[in-house]
A = this chain, B = another copy of it.
């Protein structure tokens, strides 16, 4: 950490700050510059109340040097983590395709999609029983009934289930049915929920908030990991920008960057980012080419009848075609599908 003093800071102020640094068990190294003094702070500064120093007279700003996350950092673990999924893993050579409808609507609909995506090579079924919706007037999911449908689909098809959990008080209930617990973008900084997921023995898919920085995403993962659950997959699903031709802007540079700084596997959800079916296949290919460890793709047997997000859902036939194309891209970058 570097404390940058104001150009006009007095030597008393500099000494005062240095003394406070010392008092926190850290070592201050003042470097008097021509314009202004900086104070390098040596030691582990992650749990220091930076704000206190920033509020001291004469301090201009503080520049962090260490990353604020530890457990999620590639510094502490060089090789990519492999998160177990139904005998296979996410984070290995095989790219994990998780596909299914946005929402569970009925047993028939869910079963049909599950069969089709399994046949095409998906390793998990994604489908929402609880749906967080922007408007209170929209369909909110089948809830518990949806979970039961998912359990039945898994029993029949053998596909593990990825489904969203909206609140810490639902963690136990959803974990009783699902194989992977998903945290939605709107809940990425719901710390109560993150802590509760740390105490569950199931992998977690943590979606990047629509305006979260990568550091904030990794710190959110850190909440889950610190609470005891190392099996976190990060999911990029688009960020909010000024772009108006897609629902969100999918930042694949974030995927490449996260793979560089963190050992956690990264999956990509192009369906929510695009909001539009025709853009999903090119973005799926781009994500795989960029290094993603898995994809979350929405598939619906009859998108016109979907209760949620039909416009972005692929049909089962679209998905078959996509899988054939993706296999080639995966091989081109040394992976399998």
Chain A interface residues toward B at CB < 8 A: 2, 4, 7, 29, 31, 33-36, 38, 40, 42-44, 46-47, 49, 51-52, 54-57, 63, 65-66, 68-69, 75, 132-140, 166-169, 186-187, 189-193, 210-211, 213-216, 219, 222-223, 226, 238-246, 249-257, 259-260, 273-274, 278-279, 282-283, 285-291, 303-311, 313, 325, 328-329, 331-333
The complex places the Cα of A252 from the Cα of B286 at a distance, in Å, of: 8
Q: How far is the CA of A135 from the CA of B69 in the complex (A)?
A: 8
Copies in the complex: 4
B52 touches A307 (CB 8 A): yes
Besides the known contacts A51-B306, A245-B254, 17 further A-B residue pairs in the complex with CB atoms under 8 A apart: A33-B42, A33-B65, A40-B40, A52-B305, A52-B306, A134-B219, A135-B222, A166-B192, A167-B168, A169-B169, A210-B211, A211-B242, A215-B245, A240-B240, A250-B252, A256-B282, A283-B290
Most chain B beta carbons < 10 A, residue from A47, A239, A282, A288: A282
Q: Are A242 and B240 in contact (CB under 8 A)?
A: yes
8 A-B pairs with least C-beta separation: A55-B310, A211-B211, A289-B289, A286-B290, A328-B332, A285-B289, A332-B332, A286-B286
A253-B325 Cα distance, complex, nearest whole Å: 18
- Asked if A306 and B55 make an inter-chain contact with CB atoms under 8 angstroms apart, the answer reads yes
Q: Which residue of B has the minimal Cβ distance to A5?
A: B65
CB distance from A169 to the nearest CB of B (A): 6
Q: Among B135, B211, B310, which residue has its beta carbon within 8 angstroms of that of A68?
A: B135
Q: Given B66, B168, B328, which contacts A35 in the complex, CB threshold below 8 Å? A: B66
CB-defined contacts of A140 to chain B, threshold 8 Å: 191
Chain B residues whose CB sits within 8 angstroms of the CB of A273 once the complex forms: 253
A-B residue pairs in contact (CB < 8 Å), sample of 26: A2-B63, A31-B40, A34-B42, A40-B40, A49-B138, A51-B306, A51-B308, A55-B306, A55-B310, A68-B137, A211-B240, A241-B241, A243-B253, A250-B251, A250-B253, A252-B252, A252-B283, A256-B274, A256-B278, A259-B282, A260-B279, A285-B332, A288-B289, A329-B329, A329-B333, A332-B332
Task: Name which residue of chain B comes closest to A328, CB basis.
Answer: B332
Which residue from chain B places its CB closest to the CB of A290 in the assembled complex?
A: B286
- Contact present for A279 and B250 (CB under 8 Å): no
* Residues in B whose Cβ lies below 8 Å from that of A250: 251-253
| Cα(A308)–Cα(B49), bound, Å | 7
Q: Give Cα distance in the complex from A288 to B66, angstroms.
A: 35
Looking at the assembled complex, report how far the CB atom of A335 sits from the nearest CB atom of chain B, in whole angstroms. 11
Q: Which residues of B contact A285 (CB under 8 A)?
A: 289-290, 332-333
Chain B residue, CB-CB nearest to A258: B245
Give A305's nearest chain B residue, CB to CB.
B52
- Tell me, rounded to whole Å, the shortest Cβ–Cβ distance linking A171 to chain B: 12
